[in-house]
Amino acid sequence: MTKAICSENLSPTTAGARFERLVEIMRTLRSPGGCAWDREQTVASLRPFVLEEAYEVVEAMDRNDRASLCEELGDLLLEAVFVAQICAEDGDFTIADAADAVTAKLIRRHPHVFGEGTGAGDLSPVEVKRQWERIKREERADAPADRATLLDGIPEALPSLLRASRIGARAANVGFDWDEAEQVIDKADEEIAELRDAIAAGSPAPIEEEIGDLLFTIANAARKLRVDPESALRTANAKFTRRFRAVEQRLEDRGRTVHDASPDELEREWQAVKTADTAGGGSPAD
C-alpha cells in the first residue's frame, strides 16, 4: 500500500540500500563538483527548513493524507541527512552514528522487550511510559553537570504551549503537580484575576507576564485532561478560519465585504455561521 502511494519502483530494493543511496546523493551535492547552494548551507541555515518540514509532516498527519505524509516524511528525512552530512564534514558525527545512538536508546529504554527473559506483554502502556521516564532520569543523572537538572533536554525550539506542557509533565514526575484537573482550572481563574489587575494598573510588562502565566496554566490544564494543547489550538485555529471564511462568503453573496460590515453585523453573521456549523456537526464552542 505504502509503495503504491509513495514509491516509484526505484532500485535498490532494501530500506538500508535506499537510505544509503540518499546519503550518497547528499555527499555528492555537498562535494566540490556538486550543488553550489547545498555546499553553502550550514547547520544554522538549515534550522528553519527542519522546522518547516516537521510542521508539514504534522499537517499531513492532521489531514490523514497518506500520500502527502509519505512525501513530507521523505523531506524531513532529507533534512536529517543534510544536517548529519555537514557534521560529518566537520568531523563531529555521521548519520550512521545518529542511527546507532537512537537504536541503542530504543533497546536501552525497552528492557521489557529486549532484555533477557522478558516478553513484550509484561507491561501495560502506562507502566511502559513510567519505565521509560525512570530510565531517562537515570541517564540524566549520569549526564554532565550542565545537563543534569530535571528540566534539561526539553527543547527551547518547541512551540511554547507544547513546551509548557512538557515542563509541567517533567515536574509532575517528582510530585510537583496539581492533584486534580479542577485545581488547575481554579489556578487559571486566579491568573485571569491577576491579569485583570495588571490591565487595570496599565503597565505593559505585568500584563505580558500575567498572560504568560495564564497560558502556562492552560497548557498544564490540558496536560491534566490528557489533551495536547498544541493540537487543541491548531483545531481551534482551523475552526475559526473556517467560520470566518464563511462569514466573508455570506457578506460577499450580498455584495459586501468584512471591511464594509459593522461590528454588530459581523457578530450577527458569525452567530449565523456558528449555528449552521453546529447543526452540520461542528463543535458548538466558540
Three-class SS state of 247: helix
How confident is the model at residue 67, as a pLDDT? Answer: 96
* Radius of gyration for the alpha carbons in the chain, expressed in angstroms and rounded: 25
How confident is the model at residue 281, as a pLDDT? Answer: 67
How confident is the model at residue 103, as a pLDDT? Answer: 96
Q: How far is the C-alpha of 83 from the C-alpha of 102, rounded, in Å?
A: 16
Whole-prediction pTM? 0.67
Residue 1 is placed in which grid cell?
Answer: 500500500
Each residue's pLDDT, cut to its tens digit, for the chain (286 residues) gives 444 556 555 666 899 999 999 999 999 999 999 999 999 999 999 998 999 999 999 999 988 999 999 999 999 999 999 999 999 999 999 999 999 999 999 999 999 899 875 555 578 888 888 888 888 878 877 666 555 578 888 888 888 999 999 999 989 988 999 999 999 999 999 999 999 999 999 989 999 999 999 999 999 999 999 999 988 999 999 999 999 999 999 999 999 999 999 999 999 999 999 999 887 766 655 6
Residue 64 is placed in which grid cell?
Answer: 490523514
Q: How far is the C-alpha of 40 from the C-alpha of 30, rounded, in Å?
A: 8
- CATH classification of 160-224, choosing from 1.20.58.100, 2.50.20.10, 1.10.287.1080, 1.10.10.10? 1.10.287.1080
How confident is the model at residue 265, as a pLDDT? Answer: 96
Closest among 143, 230, 221 to 184, alpha carbons compared: 221
How confident is the model at residue 16, as a pLDDT? Answer: 94
Closest among 217, 130, 206 to 173, alpha carbons compared: 130
Task: Tell which phi-psi region holds residue 226, choosing left (phi > 0), alpha (psi between -120 and 50) or beta.
Answer: left
Closest among 105, 213, 112, 111 to 153, alpha carbons compared: 105
Task: Tell which phi-psi region holds residue 153, choosing left (phi > 0), alpha (psi between -120 and 50) or beta.
Answer: left
C-alpha dist (Å) from residue 222 to 97, 166, 201, 225, 283: 37, 11, 30, 5, 18
How confident is the model at residue 11, as a pLDDT? Answer: 65
**Fold for the domain defined by 2-108:** Helix Hairpins (1.10.287)
The H-assigned helical ranges of the chain are 2-6, 15-30, 36-40, 43-63, 66-89, 95-108, 111-114, 125-141, 160-172, 181-201, 204-224, 229-253, 263-279
How confident is the model at residue 2, as a pLDDT? Answer: 46
Residue 224 is placed in which grid cell?
Answer: 491534566
How confident is the model at residue 1, as a pLDDT? Answer: 43
